[in-house]
Amino acid sequence: MKILQISSASSFGGGERYVTDLTNSLVARGHDLYLAVRPQSPLPRHVQLPPEKILTLPLRNALDVPSARELDRYVRRRRIEVVHAHMARDYSLAAYATRRNRETKFVATRHVLFQLNRLHRHTLARATKVIAVSNAVARELRAQRILNERQIAVIPNGVDVDRFKCDFDREEFLRRIGLPPDCLLVGSIGELRTLKRHDDFIRAAALVPRAQFVLAGVDPTTSGEVRKPLEKLVDEVGLKDRFHFLGWLDQAEKLLCAMDVFVSASETESFGLVIAEAMAAGTAVVATETEGAKEVIEDQKTGILVPIGDVDRIANAIITLLEDPGEIGVRAKEAANAKFSLRRMVDEIENIYAAD
């Protein structure tokens, strides 16, 4: 099957991991995959596609007519059977690219809880399916009344559990990233965005003795307007020697395996892919009660859920897990393998592609 994935993302987060894992899995299954991206997109270096199968277009916004026309020509020239769009601003471009190619299916994935606008009532009208990555996203789509019920498919995110074997030298890895090899390690991974509430993580860290703390992720702003206040906060709470900003890390799975506790302090998560990845690594998780986290974690069994913004509760949960993690990490790994495998996600998406 000839499949074109479209993503105008300019940074690499959970949604982009979804695109690359899906693309590489479909390639491994024998499908003919293509990818449309913006210039300087981070996606091409993560996908197993030759350069001639990667189309670079401006993809400026939902009304980028030149990009839409080029996508239309590309779909016809390559005889694409499925166009799958992953960001809201790409939906209208994908709809245009398939409107004159009646044999081409238009599929969209909705990765976030934010509302769509009235334009999407028209651009998504022809979508075969709109995939919601969680029940929370599906509820939001239904509430907006943009789609009919037949168009909505709930397919929870999947994690490539094979990446989290954790069969490496932890002490050597910690030395390599500048940390004491025998430390208790608490960390978080995610773009440095305000809604991730990394400041709450830092304030909680200041209440936890002895441990080392890491935050892996880049500031998407050109001026560093998110990272700079976080660095200042680290100094203010007296964590300069115990809190480390790692920036972009290619081996995030090793970092998750090396952690004793993973923390998600976010104020909103549609699913929480990195939470599921931490669970797949067998790492104990503390997460705020976002809609997504509540679907992924069974409180006190596969992780600990705490109220959003409650720094004291975050700190107490970290301390509890550092002192006695019990079976939470083991049960978390079992749950990730059973419920959130990449194979299951790709199977369900592949069925949508192939359905009449």
Which tens digits make up the pLDDT trace of 321-336?
999 888 999 999 999 9
Q: What is the reported pLDDT for 260?
A: 97
Q: What is the mean pLDDT of residues 244-272?
A: 93
Which residues, in sequence order, are CB contacts of 293 under 8 Å at separation 6+? 264, 266, 269, 272, 275, 287, 305
Q: What is the reported pLDDT for 250?
A: 79
Task: Read off φ and ψ for residue 263, nearest 5 degrees.
Answer: -125, 130
User: Average model confidence (pLDDT) for the chain?
Assistant: 95
Share of the chain above pLDDT 90, in %: 88
- Cβ pair 348, 129 in contact under 8 A: no
Q: What is the mean pLDDT of residues 118-144?
A: 92
Q: What would the two tokens of residue 94 be? A: 């994908």
Task: Spell out a b/e string for 54-90, using b for 16 or more CB atoms within 10 Å of the CB, else e.
Answer: bbebebeebebeebbebbbebbeeeebbbbbbbbbeb
Q: What is the reported pLDDT for 117?
A: 86
Model confidence band, residue 221 (pLDDT cutoffs 50, 70, 90): confident
Q: What is the reported pLDDT for 223?
A: 85
With 0-12 CB in 10 A as exposed, 13-18 as middle and 19+ as buried, what is 314? buried
Q: What is the reported pLDDT for 251?
A: 80
Model confidence band, residue 13 (pLDDT cutoffs 50, 70, 90): confident
Give helix 227-236 / helix 198-205 axis angle, nearest 10°: 20
